[in-house]
Chain A
């Protein structure tokens, strides 16, 4: 067979630029997302340094607004989401017993679009200044700004957002179509479930962002008047569109963290998840309700008491499935044998922190009281409790947990514990006082505050906390650097795992499973361990494995959009056209070049199995 097949083995940089392997794309997402996380973190620390003392003049006015805009935009779109996508890529196909995602080529396109979009956005720092209208980019502040900052925001996010949408669709199809025999929906690990629901949210939420950003782009680049009140436009249109995307986005971020925590709590308590079906139902319900609550970001814009009350009650309703999750985690631990590894420490730190972020969320859902909280530091404290205390602790937990599977090495546990305690204590020091700052009358997004308003003490403590968080992150970096120079771990299953991703040898073979496994229950690997088998039962004989070829086209395609982005920003239609032309050419090439992939022969697979490599 395979007369028309060709397969070129590439190495080094070219291998990474052309890869369509979900494991490598996962690592790329993690590296790029980690890099942007450091930039976003640095921006946060600079802001905290400015706010450490009253009347400070280090980063003022426009520059401070650029920092706060880029911190928010970077952390949400370029750090948190890509790191989530990193784990989804690296782990989800393994958890459902698949050899890759449904569309490996699209997967690579998604990554490179995100990467070039993020790069474009961050280049604004060197090209006339970053966007300064907040990550929410409220019109007309965003439309009247004269410099190119907001143009970078518009084009950068449009390109990165397209990548996210492609990724989301890919995972939806992967979960629906690529599950191993026996892996029914109600046997899928919670992380897979959460990723599945998140992908669904991306499918419905990101088009709203795309449309909104197109309107903003037309307003800025082609002088349209969607948000210009003087010309019959309406500024509230942007707020609605942005939050119709923006609120589901919060759940796009937090649901995968819920999934990670569910995996870790279950593994390190050596117990199956308590109330699995309730957990699945709660995840789906949170995802659904996430689309019904966007107006709670807009209680003060004047939509009237009827709208405010309806959205208040809808918002409160989300607390119920979220509470179900919290109690199910606690009861998963109940009666278990809890092992306090670093991954588990982060998960243990996650639960109470997230509960605190959740209860302030319920407080914020009360419109009449929200008139006091809104756009004050109380809100800043709340969403950092949810996003840092929730999502980031979850991602750190996931990193320590899955690092051995992704990078074939175990991170140092002692450094890991330093990482945890510094970050955890720093986090609470930073954000707990901010609740009080808000209630004491400090608005958010201010570059300074005058002395004599009793705001000095809490701000000082908050900055100290931010520095500790930075120190914790540096410990993590050191840990990663040390591990990179250490040897491969020999064990494929360091945590006594329960799910399929721990069933393969390290390093994970290119084709994941030499033989697709047969899944016989929830926690597929644990089922086999409990039955005394120790490893998965294959669902098929050893045979040829069909693999996709790598391709440089996704890289070039995204590069084309990157170039055209510059064209639109500087209203240079030749450059814009040339970039789009490059995209069309790569699309054309992708359509006409017949690429059937290649096959790994049976003998090679058998040799791998014999040698313990598969």
Chain B
């Protein structure tokens, strides 16, 4: 076998390409800085396909540049170029070589496509199972075994395979955590539930960014979520304290009253409350207000005061509250911390 085809050279070519692409973007968002098994294998596939494609590009571009430089019309040349009909050998060559290149690409393609698929079967013993539901414009995460529901923030233990069931409460959304895995759509209706899996990677205490990747309405751009990966032990503690949390975990009686009167019908805290809006259990520990704004009181007040201004087209009504009430309920919400 020729020298340049040897494995060492190929690996070094890969390494160079990887170097060129890596470091591109935000390490908690970029698909080019994979953090889990699935994203990693997807990145490998990108490298394989980019390598083959760069090979094609180089051949075409070099040939093309040569032709453009060599065969320009020279001044005063009045001869007629030879009229060539074609060449069967050449035609065969540039049909067969691409076929071979595509076969090389097709093998890992089909392999990985089957590998990444998941089905309706429940998660196996050492897998974590979650149900993801897309809403305009927020995400609901249900942990069926742990019997808890969170919103906007997905807390996961490190080094764990996660089995995901996806559906939607309204229109089509698409669940995407570029650092951990590619996206899968959430379809409305029971018939089109989707399944996928991903691996949470080895890093702990890191927050990955998640996005909605299918146009879902006016605030599609703002439908972000977070994936917090923690150690297995911290995860256990988190589950316990999340389940123990209730509306009294915040010590603001005034705010609690306002909340229970105006908000509880849609938003759950602990075991109580409705489910048309995101659960607010442990809201004080969250990373963002409404999934996008920096987590502080001012933003929270602005959001409650006029939800449409922050997230156009969302379903949260403008509740008729006085400034004092908004202030109190904000304090109450920010005080909802897990033990």
Point out residues on A near B: beta carbons under 8 Å.
Answer: 60-62, 64-65, 132-134, 138, 140-141, 144, 229-230, 233-236, 269-272, 274-278, 300-302, 304-305, 308-309, 312-313, 316-317, 319-320, 323-324, 326-328, 330-331, 333-340, 348, 351-352, 355-356, 359-360, 362-363, 365-376, 436, 439-441, 443-450, 452-455, 530
- Complex partner residue of B191 from A234, A301, A331, A368, CB under 8 angstroms: A234
B314 to chain A, nearest CB (A): 10
Q: Mark B108-142, 1 if CB is under 8 A from A, else 0.
A: 01101111110000000000000000000000000
A342 to chain B, nearest CB (A): 15
Chain B stretch 71-89: residues in CB contact (< 8 A) with chain A? 71-74, 77, 79-87
Q: Is the CB of A309 within 8 A of B113?
A: yes
Q: Is the CB of B211 within 8 A of A443?
A: yes
Judge if B94 is at the interface, Cβ distance under 8 Å.
yes
Judge if B19 is at the interface, Cβ distance under 8 Å.
no
A451 to B105 Cα, complex, angstroms: 37
Q: Provide the residues of chain A in CB contact with B56, threshold 8 Å.
A: 323, 355, 359
Q: Is the CB of B189 within 8 A of A319?
A: no
A440 to B43 Cα, complex, angstroms: 12
If A140-B171, A355-B56, A375-B214 are given as contacts, then 5 extra A-B residue pairs at C-beta distance below 8 Å, sorted by A number, are A275-B87, A320-B98, A368-B41, A368-B116, A441-B209
A315 to chain B, nearest CB (A): 10
Judge if B146 is at the interface, Cβ distance under 8 Å.
no
Chain B stretch 290-339: residues in CB contact (< 8 A) with chain A? 292, 312-313
Known contacts A62-B312, A371-B116, A441-B29; decide if A352 and B64 are in contact (CB<8 Å). yes
Known contacts A138-B215, A305-B114; decide if A369 and B42 are in contact (CB<8 Å). yes
A530 to B218 Cα, complex, angstroms: 63
Chain B stretch 29-44: residues in CB contact (< 8 A) with chain A? 29-32, 39, 41-42
A547 to chain B, nearest CB (A): 37
29 A-B residue pairs with Cβ-Cβ distance under 8 Å, sorted by A, are: A140-B170, A229-B188, A234-B189, A235-B172, A235-B192, A272-B83, A275-B86, A276-B86, A331-B90, A333-B68, A335-B82, A336-B81, A338-B73, A355-B60, A355-B61, A363-B49, A369-B42, A369-B49, A370-B182, A371-B183, A371-B184, A372-B39, A375-B213, A439-B24, A440-B30, A443-B211, A449-B221, A453-B209, A454-B25
Known contacts A330-B64, A368-B42; decide if A337 and B71 are in contact (CB<8 Å). yes
A485 to chain B, nearest CB (A): 31
A308 to B30 Cα, complex, angstroms: 24
Q: Is the CB of A271 within 8 A of B83?
A: yes
- Complex partner residue of A304 from B106, B115, B117, B181, CB under 8 angstroms: B117
Most chain A C-beta atoms within 10 Å of own C-beta, residue among B26, B52, B112, B171: B171
Q: Provide the residues of chain B in CB contact with A233, threshold 8 Å.
A: 189
Q: Provide the residues of chain A in CB contact with B174, threshold 8 Å.
A: 300, 374-375
Q: Is the CB of A333 within 8 A of B71?
A: yes
Judge if B212 is at the interface, Cβ distance under 8 Å.
yes
A614 to B220 Cα, complex, angstroms: 60
Judge if B217 is at the interface, Cβ distance under 8 Å.
yes
Judge if B6 is at the interface, Cβ distance under 8 Å.
no
A388 to B217 Cα, complex, angstroms: 27
Most chain B C-beta atoms within 10 Å of own C-beta, residue among A355, A359, A441: A441
A389 to B70 Cα, complex, angstroms: 25
Q: Is the CB of B215 within 8 A of A450?
A: no
Known contacts A138-B214, A340-B72, A453-B26; decide if A229 and B109 are in contact (CB<8 Å). no
Please name the 4 residue pairs, one residue from A and one from B, whose CB atoms are nearest each other, closest first.
A371-B182, A229-B189, A440-B25, A61-B312
Q: Mark B168-194, 1 if CB is under 8 A from A, else 0.
A: 001110101011011111011111111
Q: Provide the residues of chain B in CB contact with A236, threshold 8 Å.
A: 187, 192
Q: Provide the residues of chain A in CB contact with B292, threshold 8 Å.
A: 450
Q: Is the CB of B31 within 8 A of A312?
A: no
Q: Is the CB of B109 within 8 A of A368?
A: yes
A275 to B74 Cα, complex, angstroms: 25
- Complex partner residue of A446 from B30, B46, B221, CB under 8 angstroms: B221
Q: Is the CB of B211 within 8 A of A441?
A: yes
Chain B interface mostly: mixed
**B308 (CB) vs chain A CBs: closest residue:** A61
Q: Is the CB of B312 within 8 A of A235?
A: no
Known contacts A235-B188, A235-B192; decide if A441 and B25 are in contact (CB<8 Å). yes
**B84 (CB) vs chain A CBs: closest residue:** A274
A95 to B299 Cα, complex, angstroms: 66
A420 to chain B, nearest CB (A): 15
**A279 (CB) vs chain B CBs: closest residue:** B86
Known contacts A312-B113, A348-B68, A356-B57; decide if A141 and B45 are in contact (CB<8 Å). no
Judge if B1 is at the interface, Cβ distance under 8 Å.
no
Q: Provide the residues of chain A in CB contact with B211, threshold 8 Å.
A: 441, 443
Judge if B16 is at the interface, Cβ distance under 8 Å.
no
- Complex partner residue of A367 from B29, B50, B113, B216, CB under 8 angstroms: B113
**B82 (CB) vs chain A CBs: closest residue:** A335
Judge if B244 is at the interface, Cβ distance under 8 Å.
no
Q: Provide the residues of chain A in CB contact with B266, threshold 8 Å.
A: none
Q: Provide the residues of chain B in CB contact with A443, threshold 8 Å.
A: 176, 211-213, 220-221
Q: Is the CB of B64 within 8 A of A300?
A: no
Judge if B12 is at the interface, Cβ distance under 8 Å.
no
Q: Mark B44-67, 1 if CB is under 8 A from A, else 0.
A: 011001101100110011011001
Q: Is the CB of A312 within 8 A of B42?
A: no
Q: Provide the residues of chain A in CB contact with B109, threshold 8 Å.
A: 309, 312-313, 365-369
A132 to B314 Cα, complex, angstroms: 15
A549 to B154 Cα, complex, angstroms: 71
